[in-house]
Structure 1
Amino acid sequence: MKQFFHQIVSSLMALLVLASTVSWTVDKHFCMGRVMDISFFSHAEDCGMEAGLALMENDDLKKSCCADESFTMQGQDDLNLAWQDLDLEHQMFLVAFTSTYVDIFVPLEKCPVPNEQYPPPKLVKDIHVLDQVFLI
């Protein structure tokens, strides 16, 4: 369960870093005040009204009822942190935390058994059968 939770948290953190560093562009096409198309990362398709208006001969009627709106969210570019940018206290904390965290996962040679030197008692009679006490 702990390993599964650790995998989920690390995946969410990776997605958070990815989402914060990528630039997002949302492009919308409106026709008569209604949203006709929404596009991410590219230009939204028009509804075809502008092609029809281009064929009209009257300049008064050529007013376009369509509008395009674009929204761009810039991602972070300053993610390069150097070891020298940290204070001495932060460097000491990171070194201490890393060394203790790595030492947690060092496997033991053999698990210590507290009563290894004491032999088990010799069974002369089966006590459970004599007393007729059974686990159900």
Structure 2
Amino acid sequence: MKLFWFKILSCFMALNVLASTFSFAVGQHYCGEDLVDFSFFGKAESCGMDVQQASDSHEHNLQKNGCCEDETLSVLGQEDLLLSVENVSIGEHQFLIAFTYSYINLFEGSQENIVPVVHYPPPLLVKDIQILDQTFLI
């Protein structure tokens, strides 16, 4: 049962690290105040009511404002989780090697069942202690 919870916790922690480093963007197209289209990958499609701007007159741009608007919401993930090998000191390097070696050898089990008291006989009873102390099981 302990191994089951260990696996569940490990998967949860791996997904937590993945979610915290994941970056994405959502493109949205509004026509007025209504959401017309959104897209997780790429740009959202327009509704077709975009204002065609004339390239020769700048006064035309000031007079007429379009009702359509594009927005992009972006969520940036953490990028400071990367460990640089150049910044690890010699003491930390030795600790990582020793920890890895001991962790790998922690799960190696022996094939035989070792009983350390097989070669030692029990002590000889010189006197019966229960009679001397007058303690009897009823």
| TM-score of the two chains, using structure 1 as the length reference | 0.58
Choose the corresponding residue for 1:95, options 89, 94, 97: 97
Aligned partners of 1:47 and 1:86: how far apart in 2? 54
Give the superposition deviation at 1:111. 1.7
Aligned partners of 1:24 and 1:111: how far apart in 2? 54
State the identity %. 39
- More helix per residue: 1 or 2? 1
RMSD: 3.3
Give the superposition deviation at 1:22. 4.3
How many matched pairs? 111
Give the residue type in structure 2 aligned to 1:5. W
Aligned partners of 1:108 and 1:79: how far apart in 2? 37
Structure 2 regions of 5+ residues with no counterpart?
53-59, 122-138
Q: After the TM superposition, which segments of 4 or more aligned residues of structure 1 sit over 6 Å from their partners?
A: none
Aligned partners of 1:9 and 1:41: how far apart in 2? 31
Give the residue type in structure 2 aligned to 1:33. E
Partner of 1:49: 49
1:1-136 alignment to 2 at 5 Å? 1-50=1-50, 63-74=65-76, 76=79, 79=82, 81-82=84-85, 84-113=86-115
Deviations 1:26-67 (A, max 9, x none): 1111121233332212211223333xx55xxxx799531110
Structure 1 regions of 5+ residues with no counterpart?
119-136
| TM-score of the two chains, using structure 2 as the length reference | 0.58
Q: For the structure 1 residues 88 and 80, does the alpha-carbon distance in structure 2 shift closer, same or farther, using more than 3 Å as the test?
A: closer
After TM superposition, the structure 1 stretch with the greater mean CA deviation from structure 2, 16-25 or 89-98, is: 16-25
